Amino acid sequence: MERRIRVIKDYAREFENPISMKKGSHIKVIRKNEGRYKEWFWCKNEEGIEAFVPSEILEIDGSSAVFLQDYDSRELTVYEGDILIFISEMGGWAWVKKSSGEYGWVPKENTEPYDSL
């Protein structure tokens, strides 16, 4: 059974150019996030695109890292009342699927469980 969540607060994606990386790919680590989501690192891929990446899927060695699994940094714009299919969670963010079929990240704090309501 699919686990669903409901958006309780609008969220507008911040980054227009997501990165998509395969397991085993290398990326440059720029800095650790100092904000609310301290488990994330700001990184740059070989094409020069920068994005946040959760530390739990990186094997970090100094200023470089290797992906331990496939990763896509795409964020979604969502609105209060939207119902999303919950896929996974990392570092306070949920990887979800919209009814349109679009996948992406949303802050978990902007959602609540829906199936149990």
Largest CA distance in the chain: 46
What are φ and ψ of residue 71, in 5° steps? -150, 140
Confidence check: pLDDT of 111 > 50: yes
49-84, pLDDT tens digit by residue?
999 999 999 999 999 999 999 999 999 999 999 999
Supply the pTM of this predicted model: 0.90
Model confidence band, residue 117 (pLDDT cutoffs 50, 70, 90): very low
Query: What residue ranges define each of the domains in the chain, with the CATH number in brackets?
Result: 3-14+74-113 (2.30.30.40), 20-72 (2.30.30)
Burial 64-81 (b: 16+ CB within 10 A, else e): ebebeeebebbbbebeee
Confidence check: pLDDT of 22 > 90: yes
N- to C-terminal Cα distance for the chain? 16
| pLDDT given at position 36 | 84
| pLDDT given at position 2 | 86
